[in-house]
Structure 1
Amino acid sequence: MLAPSLLSALTLVSAAAGALAATADQWRGRSIYQVVTDRFARTDGSTTAACNTADRVFCGGTWRGIINKLDYIQDMGFTAIWISPVIEQIYGNTDEGEAYHGEFPLLGYWPKDYYTLNPNFGTEQDLNDLVTALHDRGMYVMVDIVVNHFASWGDGSIPYSELVPFNNSSYFHKKCWINWSNQASVEQCWMGNGQVPLMDLDTENTYVVNTLEAYIADFVKEYSVDGLRIDATKNVRKDFWPGFCKAAGVYCQGEVWSNDPSYFCPYQNVMDGLHNYPIKEYAASAFQTSKGSLTNLVSVASKLTNQCKDVSLLGSFMENQDNARMGSLTTDMARLKNYAALNIFSGGIPVVYYGQEQLLTGASDPNNREALWLTGYPTTGANLVAYFTQLNTLRNAISTRGKDKGFLTAKPIYKTLSASVLSVRKGNMLLALTNAGSGAAAKVTADGFGVGVKLMDVLACEETRAGWKGELPFWIGAEPKLFYPKALLAGSGICGL
């Protein structure tokens, strides 16, 4: 990676980065496949190379491996990928394992040198080739970054002189361990433990702020990055982020791990989007069993719509590197399809964690970071590959056709239709979901359609019609239904139209 020109070049580089970058509005129509680089695909294409998640070590996934499996991702209808942090991290097998991904319980990413790439993942040419391969396919790339802290390991003194570019303790907050109930402590104290402390950058320091802004502008320009996933967003003061994201000149989606909209939503005032943790956490509970509360999910969704700046720019996810996979919550295929449909059509930008389509079952770190190559990447059989392909195809068709220009920006409206059925309306689309599980069926009624309008359940390609009051009575079994006006599908190829 090129060394930065830092402050003197900030304005010039930032302007160049902005000219190359995809906007937040352009990201609305994307569907993102999240890749843990070390666990997705190897350069040698092996599907048998051992990877024991309990060992917490590098297993050999690379950027070249991702290039070789882009067909697998794109064929499922994904139009962007999010990759793990690319910078050099601390090395060695700590008491928390190696920095193959850099996150473990109560820990964050483990940076050592911003200007050197992680050699475990490949060369600078490999990373450039990955970005080029994505752009040649019309796909975007989102890179995971961390600017909250650096890392060290061992219980001795911290080798600040080895950190790049912040090689002095004066660039960091004084050591204190985070008290998660105190926001000032969350922003200024350290994550980690005595063995792997994460030294918190002093983002009140003008030199630190200016250097970070210059770095990210240079990074985005050098690698033609389209978007950023920002780790530990809530661990940095809010008013740091507008300048940083402006310098980057790309869509920023931050991690604010909270299911409380009143705490969560204000962070969207300082960057484009956030991972939608409130929906994720309430949905995981709502569809895990037939006793899950759909009412609570509807309530939090309504609060988000009312309190967040723009829910269409939130990242909609059901799994990620820090949370249990849906396959660990239930083995009921119908419920897993409900999770998948909500993942893609919940109202924001879909983010699907690698392996979700293969029904991986890791319950928590490190078990939820399995090596995908051990599945063999099957596209048929007992998995959700075909289902995610169908869902993405439908969303891509609806969002890119001129007949429904308001779909992407429309605010989602959640509503309970019964104790076991809820609907998500977004523009002209209505998604019906149920937590009843396999073998169940119920009759419910949705409303708000045009009088007598013809509708297609595009998941089953079955036609129906709204009544003279705009109401739609329908039976729903254990799997989702997705209703859309038939007239708007003309020429789309969906359901033969």
Structure 2
Amino acid sequence: MKKSIKSLAAGLIASILTISCAAQTNLEAFESEANTVESLAKKNALSKSSFWQDQIIYFIVTDRFSNGDKKNDFNVKNDPWAYHGGDFQGIINKLDYIKDIGATTIWITPPMDNRDVAFKADFGGGKMQDIWGYHGYWFKDFFAVDEHLGDMNKMRELITKAHAKGIKVLLDIVVNHVDYDHPYAKDKNNPQGKYYKWFNHHGKINDNEWSDPWKVEHGELAELPDLDQTNPEVYDYLVKASKWWIQQAKPDGFRIDTIKHVGHEFWKKYSKDIHAYAGDDFLLLGEVYDGIPENNASYIKDGLDSTFDFPFYYAIKDVFGQGKSPRQLAKLFEKDNVYPNPNMMSPFIDNHDVPRFLHDAGSNGINKLKLAMAFTMTMRGIPTIYYGTEVGLPGGPDPDNRRDMPWNTKNAGLTDYVKKLTSVRKNYESVRRGKQLEMWQDDQVFSFLRTSGDPNTEVITVINNSDGNQTRTIKVRAESKMQDGTQLKNILADDGILVNNKSITVTLAPKEAKVFVVGTAKNSVKKK
């Protein structure tokens, strides 16, 4: 979720509607079964790291992806701040598309029941307007599916059909805050109220307070009611809600929002309890909106399995989007030793909280995007692709970065490029699980080797980030098993090169990436 929003609560509580008792009913039903429901924990033949390192995540803002059932089109409007009609059925209808582009996991925005009415607020620009909870992050009921998306049966159908196609599903959850329409938040400011102690009362996080960890944890993000997770009743409630979704929907993991807004002690206990219930292979992938590797690593050490690689998000944007030196990438890779397992990090180019890559890339944007994709898909980690990236979907700051998926717009060259990259990840174990070893860095060119010990599965990525042709003769790493005379083909085109004197000589066009694997290309260099 976005780190700061201006004046969210301006006019927010114009009226509070009567809240249904669905949350309490579902919670009581779950509690009554809690002692008899067996743990869903499963043991996988592969270690968790190997299991998840094989994945390619495709991130979907459900409301903006595909409208498969117009019967649930409540409050749908031609307005970027309103509901647009996307739903679970729409995702079901597009599972073959998702599989075809090479994704193996989908992450969907929170399916929990959100507020039913809009409120007037200024999200920047000095204009008051109606804002709707189409994105899913303003819960009023942790124990119900939002009616705009479908129901629990439809969600189960989505997950079952995704599994049948070999696609895993991550559900997005939030434990930091609730919406003002949540029944427990209605009376949150009354010291005599039943749920007063469920909430922090330290005011909103101001723009000058983002460097203060205490205020980030205890303040109100976008002025939303901020839960006090140190209260045992709140912790119990959040864990029960999480287990309810695992029990009811049977996802493969959670993407967890706003990690750094909740204290480390919570994450240590929560990670342990959820893994004990759902199994060690149940993924806990956290959003730590922070560009410092050590800060991300601290939450993984608490027990999360992974975080999104925000440090590399900023580097990818600078290097490939703005043409800065690739040495920045090499410097950041030097920090990989702070992570328990850097291969579990999830690199990404953009998402729903930041402008899309093409928005800031300027001229020659598609070629810059291709470089970023080639890097992200062959570097260490579990790559995440934001829906629409594969067709070059543009978009500025929120909500423009959440445009509807343009199903009638094609960009065959870019989509095929993405498919080639997802294919190399699937077909070469070294890219998914192998070591990453730098081969070259300067202010124009960056190169690295992925190896797992078998020379036939080694992959070499070479990227020219400059606006001119570049040729480099690059020494093959001593750790590589490639011998002189080995022919290499570029999977992104039809050219090839030869290993000679334990080196490769590569010529790249402006803004070109080449990904080499062992094999003979149509335009190969002949053996001497």
Q: TM-score range by the shorter chain?
A: 0.7 to 0.9
Is 1:263 aligned to 2:295, yes or no? yes
TM-score for both structures, normalised by structure 1:
0.84
Q: Match of 1:495?
A: none
Q: Match of 2:254?
A: 228
Q: Match of 1:398?
A: 428
Q: Match of 2:441?
A: 417
Q: Match of 1:91?
A: 116
Q: What is the correspondence of 1:261-410 to structure 2 with a 5 Å cutoff?
A: 261-270=293-302, 271-290=304-323, 292-303=324-335, 305-330=336-361, 331-332=363-364, 333-372=366-405, 374-376=406-408, 378=410, 381=412, 384-399=414-429, 407-410=431-434
Q: Which has the higher contact order (CA 8 A, sep 6+)?
A: 1
Q: Cα–Cα, structure 1 residues 264 and 11, in superposed 2: closer, same or farther, change >3 Å?
A: farther
Deviation at 1:71, TM superposition (A): 1.4
Which range moves more in the overlay, 115-124 or 5-14? 5-14
Q: Match of 2:459?
A: 429
Q: What is the correspondence of 1:441-452 to structure 2 with a 5 Å cutoff?
A: 441-447=469-475, 448=477, 449=480, 450-452=482-484
SS in 2 for 1:115: strand
Q: Match of 1:171?
A: 198
Q: Is the 8 A contact 2:178 2:185 kept in 1?
A: no
Q: Is the 8 A contact 1:20 1:224 kept in 2?
A: no
Q: Match of 2:227?
A: 201
Q: Is the 8 A contact 1:131 1:225 kept in 2?
A: yes
Partner Cα distance (1:458, 1:15) in 2: 45
Deviation at 1:307, TM superposition (A): 1.1
Q: Is the 8 A contact 2:260 2:288 kept in 1?
A: yes
Q: How big is each residue's C-alpha offset from its partner over 1:286-330, in whole Å with a ceiling of 9 and x where there is no partner?
A: 11244x121122211221x12111111111100100111112123
Partner Cα distance (1:14, 1:244) in 2: 19
Q: Cα–Cα, structure 1 residues 185 and 275, in superposed 2: closer, same or farther, change >3 Å?
A: same
Partner Cα distance (2:77, 2:513) in 1: 35
Q: Match of 1:149?
A: 177
Q: For residue 240 of structure 1, what is the amino acid of its counterpart?
A: F
Q: Is the 8 A contact 1:214 1:247 kept in 2?
A: no
Deviation at 1:340, TM superposition (A): 1.3
Q: Match of 2:240?
A: 214
Partner Cα distance (2:45, 2:83) in 1: 31
Q: Is the 8 A contact 1:287 1:434 kept in 2?
A: no
Partner Cα distance (1:252, 1:58) in 2: 28
Deviation at 1:89, TM superposition (A): 1.4
SS in 2 for 1:316: coil
Q: How big is each residue's C-alpha offset from its partner over 1:20-66, in whole Å with a ceiling of 9 and x where there is no partner?
A: 999453121011110000000001599xxx98886400010010011
**What are the ranges of 5 or more consecutive residues in structure 2 without an aligned counterpart?**
1-22, 122-130, 452-457, 522-528
Q: Match for 1:185 among 215, 230, 238? A: 215
CA RMSD, aligned part only?
2.9
Q: Is the 8 A contact 2:199 2:225 kept in 1?
A: yes
Larger C-alpha radius of gyration, 1 or 2? Answer: 2
SS in 1 for 2:402: coil
Deviation at 1:344, TM superposition (A): 1.4
Q: How big is each residue's C-alpha offset from its partner over 1:357-406, in whole Å with a ceiling of 9 and x where there is no partner?
A: 1211102111000001x44253x54x52111111111111113xxxx5xx
Q: For residue 15 of structure 1, what is the amino acid of its counterpart?
A: S
SS in 1 for 2:447: strand
SS in 2 for 1:200: coil
Is 1:26 aligned to 2:51, yes or no? yes
Aligned-residue identity in percent: 26
Partner Cα distance (1:473, 1:4) in 2: 67
Q: Cα–Cα, structure 1 residues 120 and 6, in superposed 2: closer, same or farther, change >3 Å?
A: closer
Partner Cα distance (1:112, 1:153) in 2: 5
Partner Cα distance (2:390, 2:367) in 1: 14
SS in 2 for 1:347: coil
Which range moves more in the overlay, 3-12 or 293-302? 3-12
Q: Is the 8 A contact 2:440 2:448 kept in 1?
A: no
TM-score for both structures, normalised by structure 2:
0.79
Q: Is the 8 A contact 1:141 1:225 kept in 2?
A: yes
Matched residue count = 455
Q: What is the correspondence of 1:48-197 to structure 2 with a 5 Å cutoff?
A: 55-96=80-121, 97-102=131-136, 109-152=137-180, 158-160=185-187, 168-178=195-205, 179-192=209-222, 197=223
Deviation at 1:190, TM superposition (A): 1.1
Partner Cα distance (1:215, 1:280) in 2: 31
Deviation at 1:217, TM superposition (A): 2.2
Deviation at 1:14, TM superposition (A): 7.5
Partner Cα distance (1:7, 1:414) in 2: 53
Q: For residue 436 of structure 1, what is the amino acid of its counterpart?
A: S
Q: Match for 2:283 among 247, 251, 273? A: 251
